[in-house]
Chains A and B, each alone.
Chain A
Amino acid sequence: MFEVPITLTNKKFAQRRKLKYQYINHLSRRFDRITKKINTTDSLPTPENSAAENNDEDYEDDEEERNYESDVGESSVRQQTKRRRERHWKSVIGELYSSTETESDSQEEDVQEGDQVEHETRPKEEDTDEERKFWKKYEKPEKSFEVWQTVSSQNRSPINKQIITYHNFKKIEKNSLRKMEIPLLHCTKENKLYFQLLAKGLEPLQSPTSAARNYQTRHIITLTNLLHLNVSRHNWPLAYKIFATLIRIPNVRIKSIWGIGVKILDNSPNSSSSLDFLKWMCQVYSSKSRFVQNVNYRSVVPPFQTGSRTHTSKFAITYLWSSLINCQKAIESSNVTDNQYEVENSRLEELIDKISEWVLIPPFMEDAEVYFIYASCHLLKADILSRQFVNDNRNSDLVGLNKDININQVIKHIHYVKVFLQTCLEKGGFTIPSRLIENQLKSFESRLYGEAHDIREREMVDDYGNTDNSSADNSFGDVYETNAEFLDTQLMDLPPIENEMAENHYSDEDSSE
């Protein structure tokens, strides 16, 4: 019933896949040929054609676009190459990897290499591995299982009105089926039937898991089912045992069940063990290798399972978030004067240090979410520090020099929050309620200067829930106009944001403390 954390390979299923892709590839080749023929003969201006032209005028990519859009079969191939070219040019310009030159160079080489490899291998592999051929055509996403293009206005195309008629389809099918006759001769009876029914449009009821006969495989399947069922029933001790058994079986990919492990360890009596597990995952499985589009990643699916140089693995992100949330909860539950408080506080410091190191290396340095976590850490820190100024049991030490030092620290953290949020926005691809955070920062700062501005601030704060987010721009300065003159950080000039910033903060912080 559930996904099995091993790769089920089987001669039978390998053959089925081969048949399927062979057929599919042939079908699409035939289809392309037919559509091309129709396109070339049909040169008269039809309403559809003119509509297409009208639509295309809106776009900047003109000629090429139109040619390719009309060709449905190849549009996806083109998309992919287009993207690759874009990335290539970006890297040449130095936008993508601006930090070090060597890296952009290597990236450039990689891309060229990849292209070369593709060009070289394509004619050779024409009739060897059909599945690879099929896979090559499409862009393989790293972050999600599917390619999502949700900002749809960019890739709009006129409605494809060339309806596939029964007659046309039969024509394509007939030819392809004839081509398949020879490979089918060498198939088992079962696979032959499988293929014939698949070609008819039916779908298989069985899957490799239900057909598995191997004892070990069956054992793993049973264990996996039990694991999921017990997790869903919150039967943690048993789930723990099953998980422990499962990951000791050879060939079981821990990468595909780490989430369940975390969940189980979260509910185990030893509260920090899930963090330790995540840390271990990050150390052992964080891959910095390049994600190669040409490789068929059938067994290890990148989203949720692996990371690469361009994709932060999900467990690393989970590790950062849960350490941060754990820190916050621990600090919240401990008292300011406690010993515990110091411990937790130092753990937060450690986390900040760790992220500051992480953002220097590939997958993290380009990941907006990591920067957002970084900013959140500072946000938390600023909140905790500024809280000392409003607490009832106000610290009596907070006078004179001490007070100034504390104020400075808060302001420093607020500053960092802004810097990293800005970085996060620049990296792009990540939505944050920036206005909300800005307001929070303002309220932190107002705490420093007593109750005077407080009331005014709180009114603003109350509006958070109703904040019209559409007005939240990505620029930071504008939001502050209202009462910027009261607050220090608003007047502070932000230095141009560079990547060295991240390194420099820490020297600042050390000296001030």
Chain B
Amino acid sequence: MSEGQIPSSDVLGSQLGVGVQGASLYCPQENYTTKKQEKPQWLRPVDDTLAEDALDLHIVVKSLLCDTAIRYISDDKVLQESDADDDLITSDIDEDTDNQGDTSIVVNPVIPVVPKDVHFFKKVDVGNGSMFGVNCDTPVSFQDYIPSDLLRNLDDTLQESTNSSRPMQDAFFWDPTVANRLDSQYIQTASDLRNYRDGTEIIAYASGKTGSVLNIAVLTRQNTLHLNRHNNVTSIELHSPIKSIKIPGASESIGRRSNLVGIITENSFQIFRIESVHSRSCDVMVSSSEPLYFVEIDDLQVVDFAFNPWDLQQFAIIDIKGNWSIGRIPKNFNNNNKRKLQLIDNLHGTIFDPEELSSWKRIEWFSHFQKILVFDRSKMIEIDFMNNWQTEVVQAKAWSNIRDYKRIDDKNGILLTSREIIIVGASESNDPVRRISWKHDLDPDDTTLRITVQKVKKPDHILLVAFVYSMRHKRIYMHVFSHKKANLFQSLGCSTVLEIPGGTPTGIETILTLDHIDDESRREEDADENFELVVDFLVKLRNSSEVYYYALSNTQNSEPNKQETPIIVDHPEWASLFNNADEREKESIGALVSQIKLKERERISRVQNLIEHENSHDEDKYLQDLGYRLSIATNELLESWQKTKDESILSGSLSHSKLKNLVENSDSFASIPEFSSLLDQFFQYYQDQDVTFIGFEKLLHLFLHEDVPGLDIFYNKLLQCWVLVSPQAELLTKEIVKDIIWSLARLEKPSLFEPIQNEISRSLSGPYQDIISSWDMDDINEEDESNEFNFDSQFSAPFNGRPPFNLNSQSQIPTIKSSQSSGLARRKRILKTQSQKATPLSQSTQNLSVLPDSMTPAFTLMQPPSSQISFVNDSQPRNSQKAKKKKKRIRGFG
């Protein structure tokens, strides 16, 4: 039994996991005369010869392959449209495909468009008798039957309309009978075989509202993978939801590929044969077997099927209870009498286990044409159906469950359990043995885990990239095994977790790895020292109709390198910043730096212009001219606003403008103080005409975090900071200040806003209007309450030294009352008080101007002492008055 070269347990092989060491073999060097190590000293189950980051895979290509929600309906043909082309291309009419109609209707995937074929009936008679016996032979008019209550629900829940009747179930459970409804594989048709062609890569997927339309299309590879040029998709309505699609992969030893597509629908099993693929129009001609209805077998639903890799005529099926049978595919589907799938009489059996509730079952061929492996969640059973024996290889009743199995090649398969990824190989006596396992640490209770494997061929070994994915999240767990000749399997020792970007956080429905037809040139490239790993796969997310193509690579993208290097080269101080930043930060820093560089270049050119023209340039005149232009433009603008006043009221659009947009050639001057005074004059003039400008001082404050009274001071402060940085700081600062000013300065006319405001508030419904108007009243309200609130501030201010009874008065909390009263009532009250309080109002507004300042001692300290004193004097009598009032109230409670 000692065939693997790594020492390991007979039964269990090497059991590995993160940080776990497996049995290794010491391989001493033969020759110690040279000090250099020529080969690793240990033969370990973990291959550590690769660099740590060799598996640092990231997405290189992401492209939309197709969208199963888009469909182009011709008579019995559905064309496919990918994003790239906007035009609808109907199929070219060739001799072969003449029978296909070419009248096409575009059906928009954006839901509200009702297909042309939908007619509304008051009542539809659906035969209650045989629900499953849909007559496929009789031509069915293309009508979609939609129950009326469904139509009613459509308004509310467009997306979930099909499942609306059982939301609870969908939230907690999934149906294990639904397997991959998408498959892609190379196929070889009869003519391909005759002409020694490698075959064509096709995709088969389910689409339609109930997932009952089978689509088959040819794929082409140009940089990325996409649908064929014509977006030519053959589609077949099966009248029953498709549960599983499989395109068989044939054994390498028979030297050809299959041309079959197997389908399980809710009520039947059916096989399609691809008769021909038109090389130019990419038309796929398909013939089909007669469906094998479950009623004909035993009325138990078939969940999985497999094709014999050595015999293209043989298939195996298994139903939800574990009954399996072997069947034959007729040679020719065109003969009407003989196109039925035949189950072979005595080649059947069962692995039924009453303890196994789940209907998940798998069937797959093993290492020999007569050996199959049959799985349920807790067993793997090897069956030799010719020699009539079966044996239970794996019994997973204790601590794990079987999750998935994929065939790798004629000898090996990969088994996913809830705890491990296990490579199962065939021993010399063709028994399944456990080669190597990797403990994946994924949630063992996640029943939706699935696995798919991609083989990547390298000169001296094959890499098996295992993708483990789940319907519960969008992360893919990847682990790589290397397979050298002589059954030496090694793990690469670490795993990667890749997150599929974009979309809502749903799970992954299917991942399909793609097969590559080897071309020799690629192999040679691989021979160099760098370990390059490229894998590609198709992804379909749950609840999404789009199928994406992804390619992953471990090589650093050449593109970002080009971007990054120059930055680091001419600014050495950034290098350290870069080294510390992580990937995402790097990106944003890079973007920022490139922006800065762009601006800098622009400014320098401007500065140079300025210096060149300095002599010929009369600045005073220029500024005068600028002011003139500015005011003319502003006048025009104001006039135009006035004209469009009504429209803007209706549309609710606000009229405001940037100063910069009004004039061109606005920054060919050097003196900031002059410019500042120009602006001041300009603002002054227009403020008199009811035009408001943005308050510069406030905004400039945000830049420097200190008060800036004027533009020239702002400029000076900036210059102070930057003069050390560059010899040209003065000029650059000027330019930056100009930029800031021009980008900040805006004007608007408040009088224009009022009607709009009224319009809007009028259009609001009652309660909102109340809220808005109570906001408006806030000043008064506040002032109303401010008399009471004053205590707060007074009390908290230490210099006030209120007597303790103030505390009582405060705990009376009049605020509760006021806050509890609804907006409406409050407003009424306010309105009332407004008139009544006419006299105190004047007094308290006076207070109001002082009040906010009195909140914090810091402000009060800054104020001249006289005002503070007056404030205290002013408020004290009022407060004591209040306090007396409160006291009375308290007594009332007592």
Contacts and interface: CB of A to CB of B under 8 A. Distances in A.
Given A163-B349, A169-B321, A231-B18, A138 B358 contact: no
A322 B21 contact: yes
Interface stretch (A254-262, A398-406, A480-488): A254-262
Contact of B172 (A146, A172, A204, A322): A204
A246 interface: no
B236 interface: no
A166 interface: yes
B446 A391 contact: no
Contacts of A159: 349, 383, 385, 388-390
Contact of A392 (B11, B33, B37): B33
Given A150-B393, A328-B41, A458-B30, A163 B350 contact: yes
Given A164-B323, A440-B27, 16 more contacts: A3-B441, A28-B354, A143-B12, A145-B398, A147-B394, A150-B393, A157-B390, A169-B321, A202-B175, A264-B19, A301-B399, A321-B22, A322-B21, A379-B26, A392-B32, A461-B30
Contacts of B432: 150, 152
Interface of A: 1-4, 20, 23-25, 27-28, 30-31, 47, 51, 55, 73, 76, 134-135, 137-141, 143-153, 155-166, 169, 172, 193-194, 197-199, 201-210, 228-229, 231-234, 258-264, 266, 274, 297, 301-304, 314, 317-318, 321-322, 325, 328-329, 332, 369, 372-373, 376, 379-380, 383, 387, 390-392, 428-434, 436-437, 440, 443-444, 458, 461, 469-470, 472
9 contacts: A1-B473, A3-B443, A149-B394, A150-B431, A151-B11, A157-B389, A260-B18, A321-B22, A469-B2
Interface string B2-38: 1111011111100101111111111110111100010
Contact of A161 (B3, B348, B472): B348
Contacts of B299: 166
Residue from the set B9, B348, B352, B398 with the largest chain A CB neighbour count within 10 Å:
B398
Contact of A148 (B359, B393, B397): B393
Given A232-B495, A314-B20, A304 B439 contact: yes
A165 B27 CA distance: 58
Residue from the set B1, B357, B385, B447 with the largest chain A CB neighbour count within 10 Å:
B357
Nearest to A390: B32
Contacts of A228: 441, 497
A440 B473 CA distance: 50
B174 interface: yes
A234 B494 CA distance: 9
A314 B420 CA distance: 15
Given A146-B417, A151-B431, A159-B349, A3 B391 contact: no
Interface in B396-410: 396-400
Nearest to A458: B30
Residue from the set A149, A152, A376 with the largest chain B CB neighbour count within 10 Å:
A152
A192 to B, nearest CB: 11
A376 B42 CA distance: 11
Name A's interface SS: helix
A203 B20 contact: no
B354 A24 contact: yes
Nearest to A431: B2
B590 interface: no
A314 B17 CA distance: 10
Contacts of B176: 201-203
B171 A205 contact: yes
A460 to B, nearest CB: 11
A437 B7 CA distance: 11
A242 to B, nearest CB: 14
B358 A155 contact: no
Interface string B349-377: 11110110111100000000000000000
Contacts of A314: 15, 20
Contact of A208 (B31, B428, B445, B495): B445
Given A165-B298, A166-B298, A208-B445, A440 B28 contact: yes
A317 B26 contact: no
A433 B25 contact: yes
A30 B32 CA distance: 71
Residue from the set A148, A165, A264 with the largest chain B CB neighbour count within 10 Å:
A148
Contacts of A266: 19
Nearest to A267: B52
B427 interface: yes
A377 B42 CA distance: 13
Contact of A429 (B4, B10, B17): B10
A140 B28 CA distance: 40
A428 B398 CA distance: 25
Contacts of B9: 143, 369, 429-431
Nearest to B428: A470
Contact of A156 (B173, B389, B399): B389
A158 B384 CA distance: 9
A156 B357 contact: no
A304 B391 contact: no
A200 to B, nearest CB: 8
Contacts of A202: 169, 173-176, 358-359
B168 interface: yes
A160 B348 contact: no
Interface in B72-111: none
Contact of B471 (A24, A205, A369, A443): A205
A436 B349 contact: no
A413 to B, nearest CB: 13
Given A261-B19, A314-B20, A149 B393 contact: yes
Nearest to A328: B41
Nearest to B303: A201
B494 A166 contact: no
Contact of A259 (B5, B10, B388, B439): B439
A1 B445 CA distance: 10
Given A147-B398, A201-B358, A383 B28 contact: yes
B689 interface: no
B15 A303 contact: yes
Nearest to B444: A3
Residue from the set B348, B358, B397 with the largest chain A CB neighbour count within 10 Å:
B397
Contact of B351 (A153, A160, A372): A160
A162 B417 contact: no
Contact of A193 (B41, B169, B385, B428): B169
Contacts of B3: 469-470
Contact of B472 (A30, A210, A233, A434): A210
Interface in B456-474: 470-473
A358 to B, nearest CB: 16
B322 interface: yes
Given A318-B21, A391-B33, A436-B25, A24 B355 contact: yes
Contacts of B56: 234
